[in-house]
Amino acid sequence: MRVEYDLLGWPPDGPKLRLDYERFSYAGKFVMTNTGKAVARTDDDEIVAAVAFNEDRTDASTLWLRYVTVARERRGEGIGPQLLARVRDRALERGYERLRIAVNNPFAYEALYRTGFAYTGETTGIAELILEHPAPVDGSADDARARYQSGLEEFRDRDLSDEEETFLESREGSGPPELES
């Protein structure tokens, strides 16, 4: 089934978006109207992914991606990275110089890396890792690998699900994933 991507609005005038809390993580966060929203939908207009975003409170040139969610039954299909790539491109066209996001699990970390974000080395007060685009790297493959692995190490020190542990083991020593267009 084909997926279409649609940017519904920019902050602070984003639309309310009601998502099924049984299918989507963070469903309640999408009813706020002060965040921009973008969605991925199927041919029959069913929403299968969404992202909410807003400007940084102190830097109007920075856009924060706040919540990203993919329907539980559609995870792992690459829909999240495709949606994020489209939001990234539209935000850069709109004049934002930097995009940032805080992630709390290795799957989200990987998805963001696949869209050109990279770990900044910073974390939030609630143990989320901050990633940004353009990637804050010197351009060398060694630096990119070290930065990617340092973020994965942050997750390895946590209480993880079996799926997360298996995922992290599969990335041991590897460089960042290939970028999706």
What are the residues whose beta carbons fall under 8 Å from the beta carbon of 133, sequence distance 6 or more? Answer: 88, 98, 99, 115, 116, 117, 118
- Is the same domain home to 52 and 3? yes
Q: What is the DSSP letter of 133?
A: E
Note down the domain range covering 171. 103-176
- Is the same domain home to 17 and 37? yes
The DSSP secondary structure of 62-120, one letter per residue, reads EEEEEEEEE-GGGTTSSHHHHHHHHHHHHHHHHT--EEEEEE-SHHHHHHHHTTT-EEE
- Is the same domain home to 72 and 3? yes
**Mean per-residue pLDDT for 62-91?**
94
| 81 contacts 179 by C-beta, under 8 angstroms | no
Q: 114: which 2 tokens? A: 């696949």
- Is the same domain home to 90 and 150? no
Q: Measure the N-to-C terminal CA separation of the chain; round to a whole number of Å.
A: 19
Q: How far apart are CA 117 and CA 100, in angstroms?
A: 8
- Is the same domain home to 90 and 121? no
What percent of the chain is modeled with pLDDT above 70? 98
pTM of the predicted model, to two decimals?
Answer: 0.90
- Is the same domain home to 92 and 131? no
Number of structural domains found in the chain: 2
pLDDT at 140 over 80: no
Q: 122: which 2 tokens? A: 């910073």
- Is the same domain home to 90 and 131? no
pLDDT tens-digit readout, 38-72 = 999 999 999 999 999 999 999 999 999 999 999 99
- Compute the mean pLDDT over every residue in the chain, rounded to the nearest whole number: 92
pLDDT for residue 142: 81
